[in-house]
Amino acid sequence: MKGLVNISQVEGIDDEDDLGVEPIALSSPPPAQQFGHASNRDNDTEKRTQGLQNKVAMKLATFMDTIRQNLVAVQRFVEDLWLRQYGCAGDPDIARAYQVWPGNNVFFFHGRLICGPDPRGLLLTTVSIILSSWVFAMYSEDDLPHDSGLITAFSLILTVTVLVNLFLVSTMDPGIIPRNDGSSIEETAGTSDGTRRKRVTVNGVELKLKYCRICKFFRPPRSCHCAICDNCVEKFDHHCPWIGQCIALRNYRFYLTFIISALIFFVYVFAFSCWRIHQRMLRTGTGLLGMLKNSPETLALISFSSATILFLGGLTIFHVFLLARNQTGYENFRQRYTESQNPFDKGILSNIMEVLFKPLPPSRVDFRAEVMMPRR
């Protein structure tokens, strides 16, 4: 456009002055001053952060110290409660008898239950009974008669009966005789000729008493030192590996009821398991070999039950024979009274009444009593 003039090209005219436009200056602090402000802000932030960290650390330390004090207080309270309930508070030289017992027994519930040193046999027996009952209840109900509920319920009652007797015979004091602590001069001195032998007369029959070098006393008649439990036991019958406990004076009746109830249980399971196999063979028309594929669990139960019946049956007959003669298994094994009369035989009926219905004698050892800690 020819009529327009570029005023910036006119000589002597300053664009900014003549046009009335004042220059705008962007004010900024010197570099040194700007760096100083940033440094101050960083220092303030660092101080605030450090102060906050110190406060958090102090609060955390106070909190941890409070927790530590509370834990110490709880620990002292529990220790005092334990000592008042189970220990001997205030005297570190005193303990409970079961805690320092020299035998190999294992104690539970602070000396209230006493078991043998090897629990594997007891565990195997318990698992076998429970597993047999479970297999019978789960797999045999379908092929049983219409009143199968009553049959299963009765098997459970038998199972509980067997387990209760097993618990009693395996966790009670069988008749342990306390060891001689040296206070009895008569027991340690022996006879007048210097030999450690004694003879006593029971119902007109003279019996020899053996001296136990471990327990340091003359064992009473019918007693024996169990090498597994490391105790002298009164009226010792045997140490049962399937129960893991000595069978003797105080738990023999529960042992008898255990093996008899277990025999009844396995005969019951065997009979109705055979009934199930018979009914299934009639319904399906298969033979015994075919049942191995259709009902392997029932055939396994029959096999196990039959073997157990043979074992328990022979054991029951043997102990009924001993019961009728009032003789222990150890005496029979040692062939005692072969040359003399059994002084403890009172007749079949009296023997049964004495073994099964006579009140149990109290335990000779109070395993929860307070005793002095042995010096090492």
The 3 state secondary structure assigned to 319-331 is HHHHHHHCCCHHH
What percent of the chain has a predicted confidence (pLDDT) above 70? 74
Of 62-66, 119-123, 148-152, 277-281, highest mean pLDDT: 119-123
Which of 223 and 70 is assigned the larger pLDDT?
A: 223
And the tokens for 49?
């952060």
Is 242:124 a contact under the CB 8 Å cutoff?
A: yes
CA pair distance 91, 74, nearest whole angstrom? 21
Query: Taking 80 as the threshold, does the pLDDT of residue 202 lie above it?
Result: yes
d(CA 174, CA 116): 10
pLDDT value of residue 140:
66
CA–CA dist 306, 338 (Å, integer): 35
Q: What is the pLDDT of residue 219?
A: 94
Residue 288 to residue 298: CA distance in whole angstroms = 12
For the segment 293-310, the average pLDDT, to the nearest whole number, is 89
**Residue type at 74 in one-letter notation:** V
Give bridge partners of residue 209 from the DSSP assignment.
198
C-alpha count within 13 angstroms, C-beta hemisphere, residue 107:
16
Whether residue 192 is predicted with pLDDT greater than 50 in this model: the reply is: no
pLDDT digits (tens, 9 = 90+) for 239-293: 999 999 999 999 999 999 999 999 999 999 999 888 888 777 777 777 777 677 7
> In terms of pLDDT, which residue wins out, 348 or 339?
348
CB 246 within 8 A of CB 253: no
What would the mean pLDDT of 159-183 be, rounded to a whole number? 93
Q: How far apart are CA 329 and CA 341, in angstroms?
A: 17
**Residue 91 pLDDT exceeds 80:** no
Answer whether residue 121 shows pLDDT above 60.
yes
Q: Could you read off the pLDDT of 40-50 as tens digits, one per residue? A: 666 777 777 77
240 in active site: yes
Q: How confident is the model at residue 21 (pLDDT cuts 50, 70, 90)?
A: very low
C-alpha–C-alpha distance, residues 356 and 348, integer Å: 12
Asked whether 189 and 198 are in contact (CB, 8 A), the reply is no
Mean pLDDT over 117-136 rounds to 93
* pLDDT for the residue 344: 94
How many Cβ atoms from other residues are within 10 Å of residue 286's Cβ?
15
206-252 pLDDT, tens digit each: 898 999 999 999 999 999 999 999 999 999 999 999 999 999 999 99
Place of tokens 């022996």: 190
> Given pLDDT bands bounded at 50, 70 and 90, which one contains residue 11?
very low
**Is pLDDT at 157 greater than 70 in this prediction?**
yes
Asked if the model's pLDDT at residue 7 lies above 50, the reply is no
DSSP 43-104: HHHHHHHHHHHHHHHHHHHHHHHHHHHHHHHHHHHHHHHHHHHTS-TT-TTEEEGGGG--SS
Burial class (CB in 10 A: 0-12, 13-18, 19+), 336: middle
Q: Is the pLDDT of residue 26 over 50?
A: no
Range name among 141-145, 298-302, 318-322 with the lowest pLDDT average: 141-145
Higher pLDDT, 189 or 286: 286
Active-site residue, from 212, 229, 232, 240: 240
CA distance 290 to 111: 54
Give the CA count within 13 Å in the CB-facing half-sphere of 290.
10
- Residue 80 amino acid letter: D
Using DSSP, state whether 174 is helix, strand or coil: coil
Q: What's the number of CA atoms in the CB half-sphere (13 Å) around residue 360?
A: 14
For the chain, the straight-line distance linking the first and the last C-alpha, in angstroms and rounded, comes to 124
What is the arithmetic mean of pLDDT over 326-344? 90
Would the pLDDT of 86 be above 70? no
Alpha carbon distance 84, 86 (integer Å):
6
| Residue 340 per-residue DSSP state | S
Q: Which residue has the tokens 């906050």?
A: 52
